Amino acid sequence: MMKADEERQLIELACRGEVEAFMQLVREHEHRILQLTYNLTRNREDAADLTQETFLQAFRAIKDFKGNSSFLTWLHRIAVNLSLNFLKKHRRERNYLEDIDSLEEKGRGEELAEAGGIPSVEDSWLSQELRTNLEKALEELPLAFRTTFSLVVQEGMSHKQAAELLGCSENTVSWRMHEARKMLKKKLQPFLSIE
Amino acid sequence: MRKSGLIYLVIILLLASFSEVYGQGHPARRGRNVRENMFVLRTLRMTQALDLTEAQTAAIFPELNRAEKEKAQLQADLAREIRELRQLINNEKVEDREFEDRVAKILDLREKIKRRESEFEKFLFTQLTSAQKARYIIFDIDFNRGMMERMGRARLAGKENK
Amino acid sequence: MKCEQAQKLISDRLDGKLGWWGRKRLDRHLTACEVCRDYVLAQEIIQREALKTEEVDYPPEWWRQFEQALQEKLIQSAPDEEAISVLPADIKENKNNNKKGRSWTFRPHALQAASLLVVVAATLFLIIYIGRSKNEELPLPLILSYEDSYFNLSQLLAEDEEAASDLARSLEEAILQETIFFESEGEFLDIDYNYETENSSAQPEGLQVENINFEEGL
């Protein structure tokens, strides 16, 4: 892992247009950014494209990096913005109103009743089914929920950090996490209970 | 009806009087504009951030609506004055007196907006607990920042569509 | 405390956001509520599985090609001698590589030009957006009152009707989202945003929206 001093020097060189210096920064962070864009898009090819785009934009804007956050955080922000714009444009998510309607149809009472039963992942087949269906459920989450969930759970961001990246309040992040978890549980209930 | 459900019903009913708040003397438009939407969103978020009770909502909302009506009109007047001033600035035939009057009017409008906002916040604080006052400060900062960031994204979207 | 509220606190606790008082309230509820205890277990399992996110990675050769393609694009965007001189000769010549793989290794010229335009537009956004997110000094909106912030915003948008429309639309989406989120009875709030307002003879402000499009937004 690169030391802070070394990173600072490379950033200064990159600000002067030195491509090789910037490429060293790229090599340091490319895996992390690819993982982030993959977590958001759930598509390898798109993640690769967005990773490249992230670094292209970072190079063009590097003179504006003032060092108030870490370089990785700054890259994160670029990657999240690009990924969100990409996802919104390509509309891969389902309409979230449909999701909300389908939840409301069933009603809370039924949902609470279904919450009974002791979840278990002792059975390896059940675990694999859970894993597969969790991926599917995450992909089916509406964009706002999926992004928020991905940043908070998979990227390990605090609500405050996620709110800053997404341009919303912490309260909104908090509610989205709650709603996302409810939706995930609903979709994954068959794989969480034992007969 | 549960407490939170009643609160939101109250919000909807109060905000449904939009046509009264914005219709009288407010610039012509169809549908909702930025000012209106900001007001609704801010009110929703403030209610949630401060966790207002029914009693507080009933006490605060009428004054909130009144203040919004007055401030919206003042902001509209201010925007119009500034628009006219922009047109005047490059006109060499305009006398100093005209500039003085315009500037005085603009400063007066800004002062009135500040005063009205301050009046409302003083009133609001008489209705809040200490914890709610603290939450209001933070909410205000976060909301303003969120709006500017949202505007930045909207401007980018506008550029990309051109 | 109702279960819906408890489940919200459970979510906050999983994210490390629950304070002392919230934890006390939640623990008290969980002592008496088996449904929510099961909810906790279910969410902990989901959380654990979600953390085992698929690690995406590629072999070294893929990364080499990725870095080569990126380097070429960086050189194209910064064509000064110092930048170019550090590259090996084969990279400068290898611009029309037709190797099988993702489109970034052999994008057609028209798409390259389009990509550059997008990058420039996005850079302008970054210069505005990131320039405002400094931690050491409060950006202007943070130290202004709501009305001052609104005034600044309206002045900026007065020159950009399309951005004003987009902003109004995004605010409406946010209103819809938050009204649905916070309604705890399970009923969809039927809000009519298409009310008619009175016209006046005053000039329009330019901050208007004509169509309300309830698309999801952030």
CB–CB of C135/C182 below 8 Å?
Answer: no
Mean pLDDT over B119-123 rounds to 93
- Please report which residue ranges of C52-108 form alpha helices under DSSP H: 60-77, 81-85, 89-93
Segment C7-12 mean pLDDT = 93
Burial class for C55, CB neighbours closer than 10 Å (0-12, 13-18, 19+):
exposed
pLDDT in tens, C61-106: 989 999 999 999 888 876 454 444 344 444 344 444 444 445 454 4
CB proximity list for A12: less than 8 A, separation 6 or greater = none
CA distances, B136 to each of A43, A184, B131 (Å):
41, 33, 9
Q: How far apart, in whole angstroms, are the C-alpha atoms of residue A119 and residue A162?
A: 30
pLDDT value at A79 more than 50:
yes
- B25, B69 contact by CB (below 8 A): no
Q: Reply yes or no on domain A4-90 having CATH 1.10.1740.10.
A: yes
Q: Is the pLDDT of residue A3 over 50?
A: yes
Q: Which of B71, B52, B69, B49 is nearest to B60 (CA)?
A: B52
C102 DSSP 8-state letter: -
Higher pLDDT, C86 or B133: B133
Considering CB atoms only, which of C43, C186, C216 is closest to A96? C216
Residue B124 belongs to what domain range? Answer: 3-161
Q: Check whether C47 has a pLDDT greater than 60.
A: yes
The ipTM (two decimal places) reads: 0.80
Distances in whole angstroms, Cα of residue B17 to Cα of each of B61, B62, B87, C89, C210: 11, 11, 36, 71, 20
B150, closest residue in chain A (CA to CA): A167
Same domain assignment for residues C149 and C217: yes
Whether A116 sits inside 8 A of C45 (CB atoms) is no
* B neighbours by CB contacts (3+ pairs under 8 Å): A, C
Instruction: Please name the residues in contact with C107: beta carbons below 8 A apart, sequence gap of 6 or more.
Output: C115
What is the structure's pLDDT at C112?
A: 64
Q: What is the pLDDT of residue A99?
A: 42
B1 pLDDT tier (thresholds 50, 70, 90): very low
Chain A contact set for C75 (CB, 8 A): 19
Nearest by Cα to C178 from B68, B132, A171: A171
Three-class SS state of C76: helix
Residue C197: pLDDT over 80: no
Model confidence pLDDT, tens digit, residues A115-168: 443 334 445 566 777 888 888 888 888 888 888 999 999 888 899 888 888 878
Q: What is the pLDDT of residues A27-60, one digit of tens each?
A: 999 999 999 898 888 889 999 999 999 999 999 9
Query: Which chain A residues contact residue C186 at CB under 8 A?
Result: 104, 107-108
pLDDT of residue A41: 86
Which residues in B82-108 are b (16+ Cβ under 10 Å) and which e? beebeeeeeeeeeeeeeeeebeeebee
- pLDDT of res. A4: 83
Name which residue leads in pLDDT, A115 or C125.
C125
- Which residues in chain B have their CB less than 8 angstroms from residue C157's CB? 34, 151, 154
Q: Count up the domains in chain C and report the number.
A: 3
Residues of B in contact with C189 (CB under 8 A): 8, 12
Count residue pairs from B and C with Cβ separation < 8 A: 201
Q: Are residues C106 and C165 in the same domain?
A: no
Looking at the predicted structure, is the pLDDT value of residue C191 above 80? no
Mean pLDDT, rounded, of chain C: 67
| Between residues B59 and A123, the one the model is more confident about | B59
DSSP C132: T
- Whether C137 maps to a domain, the answer reads no
A48 vs C contacts (CB less than 8 Å)? 58, 66, 102, 104
Residue partners of C119: CB distance under 8 A and separation at least 6 = A53, A56, A57, A60, C77
Helices marked H in C2-136: 3-14, 20-32, 34-51, 60-77, 81-85, 89-93, 109-131
From first CA to last CA, the distance across chain B in angstroms is 49
Same domain, C126 and C72: yes
Q: Which residues of chain A neighbour B146 with C-beta distances below 8 Å?
A: 167-169
Q: What is the DSSP string of chain B?
A: --HHHHHHHHHHHHHTTHHHHHHTTPPP-SS--HHHHHHHHHHHHHHHHHT--HHHHHHHHHHHHHHHHHHHHHHHHHHHHHHHHHHHHT-TT--HHHHHHHHHHHHHHHHHHHHHHHHHHHHHHHHS-HHHHHHHHHHHHHHHHHHHHHHHHHHHHHHHH-
Identify which of A80, B114, B155 has the alpha carbon closest to the alpha carbon of residue C158.
B155
| A99 phi, psi to nearest 5 deg | -60, -45
Structural domain range at position C26:
3-51
Which comes out higher in pLDDT, residue C163 or A31? A31
DSSP designation for C19: -
The answer to the question of residue C212 being in a domain is yes
What tokens appear for B17 in the block? Answer: 């009087």
What is the pLDDT at residue B102?
A: 92
Mean pLDDT, rounded, of chain A: 79
What is the average pLDDT across C50-67?
85
**Which structure tokens are listed for A22?**
């910037």
Is the same domain home to C215 and C186? yes
Per-residue model confidence (pLDDT) at position B8 = 58
Fold identical between A4-90 and A96-192?
no
CA–CA dist A143, A95 (Å, integer): 9
In whole angstroms, give the CA distance from residue C104 to residue A183: 36
Cα C188 from Cα A104, distance rounded (Å): 8
**Structure confidence at residue B15 (pLDDT):** 56
Return the SS3 of A86.
helix
Judge whether A159 and C15 are in contact, CB under 8 Å. yes
Number of domains in chain B: 1
The mean pLDDT of C111-121, rounded to a whole number, is 65
Note which residues in 175-214 of chain C have CB less than 8 A from chain B: 175, 178-179, 182-185, 187, 189, 191-205, 207-212
* Residues A82/A50, Cβ–Cβ less than 8 Å: yes
Domain assignment present for residue C136? The answer is no
Inter-chain contact A167–B45, Cβ cutoff 8 Å? no
Name the domain boundary from C51, C68, C83: C51
pLDDT of C186: 35
> Lowest-pLDDT range, B77-91, C65-79, C114-128?
C114-128
Count Cβ atoms below 10 Å from residue A188 Cβ, excluding itself. Answer: 21
DSSP assignment letter at A95: P
A171–B146 C-beta distance less than 8 A: no
Hey, which residues 45-64 in chain B have their CB within 8 Å of chain A? Answer: 45, 48-49
The pair of three-digit structure tokens given for residue C69, joined into one six-digit string:
């393609």
Class of CATH domain A96-192: mainly alpha
Q: Identify the CA nearest to A183 among candidates B44, C52, C180.
A: C180
Would you list the DSSP string of A139-183? Answer: HHS-HHHHHHHIIIIIS---HHHHHHHHTS-HHHHHHHHHHHHHH
Residue A127 confidence (pLDDT): 73
Share of chain B above pLDDT 90, in %: 43
- Give yes or no for residue B68 having a pLDDT over 70: yes
Range C171-185 average pLDDT = 64
Per-residue tokens: C46: 């989901």
pLDDT, one tens digit per residue, over B6-41 is 555 555 655 555 544 454 444 434 335 889 889 989
The DSSP symbol for C134 reads -
The confidence score (pLDDT) of residue C198 equals 36
A93 touches chain C (CB under 8 A): yes
